A and B are shown apart, each in its own frame.
Chain A
């Protein structure tokens, strides 16, 4: 089962709101990712968790706060966002077994976020 699920599918929020995006996978993957994708552009990496620890933060503004409660779940907490943060937010997961290989990432369907 190569499925990554994300909720909600769509989210509209004001600039003063606090909301969270959720991602779940049951493939036993130990690496999980958040990407941001603007229209007609490739995905841009935001964060990587490896074995539930933050491994990479691509200089993302602090109004985005990731959390990995366990190996199957990944959250992205949103606070005081700007209209330019409107985008498709994609979650992905992959195997993570040290230096053996570089594994493909499996993506969820994404959350379309609109900040008003």
Chain B
């Protein structure tokens, strides 16, 4: 069964528009960890954020913000005032226990920002 669902396959926006990427997860564990990674065309996965299940605080880092809602099992990611350099594939991932090495990745959302 799919543990992480990223329903949006591709999103295309014009520069300076905001874009929100949806991530819905499924787990029976009470302790779990959520991650977002960015993969630009060069191929390297870049770590963006880690959130544990006990910390529902939303977070903002520059133009990036994350909205974690346990009630809806969602961990959404918003890019504000998008730039061409934000063009990439974004993956949401779930780890289901402390020191669990396995990351369950979503299928990824391809974001294209047009100048």
Number of A-B contacts (CB under 8 A): 66
The interface residues of chain B lying within 8 Å CB-to-CB of A110 are 43-44
Smallest CB–CB gap between A12 and chain B, Å?
Answer: 16
Establish whether residues A109 and B50, one from each chain, have CB atoms under 8 Å apart when the complex forms: no
- A102 B43 Cβ-Cβ under 8 A: no
C-alpha gap A43/B103 in the complex (Å): 9
Q: Is A108 in the interface zone, CB < 8 Å from B?
A: yes
A99 contacts which of B50, B98, B101 (Cβ < 8 Å)?
B98
**Secondary structure of the B contact surface, majority rule:** loop
Residues 19-53 of chain B, each 1 if its beta carbon lies under 8 Å from chain A, else 0: 00000000000000101010000111111001010
Tally of contact residues, A, Cβ under 8 A: 32
Cα distance, A110 to B107, chains bound together (Å):
19
Q: B43 contacts which of A33, A88, A106 (Cβ < 8 Å)?
A: A88
Query: CA A43 – CA B101 in complex, angstroms?
Result: 14
* Cα distance A106–B48 in the bound complex, in angstroms: 10
Q: Are A109 and B98 in contact (CB under 8 A)?
A: no
Query: Cβ of B100: which chain A residues have Cβ within 8 Å of it?
Result: 102
B44 touches A107 (CB 8 A): yes
Q: Are B98 and A43 in contact (CB under 8 A)?
A: no
Do B97 and A102 touch across chains, with their CB atoms under 8 A apart? Answer: yes
Q: Is A116 engaged at the interface, CB distance under 8 Å to the other chain?
A: no
Q: From known contacts A42-B91, A42-B105, A42-B106, infer whether A99 and B43 are also in contact, taking CB-CB under 8 Å.
A: no
17 cross-chain CB contacts under 8 A: A31-B101, A42-B91, A43-B91, A43-B103, A48-B101, A56-B102, A92-B45, A100-B98, A100-B99, A102-B95, A102-B97, A102-B100, A107-B37, A107-B46, A107-B47, A108-B44, A109-B44
Question: A residues bordering B, Cβ < 8 Å?
Answer: 2, 31, 33, 40-43, 45, 48, 50, 55-56, 88, 90, 92, 94, 96-110, 112
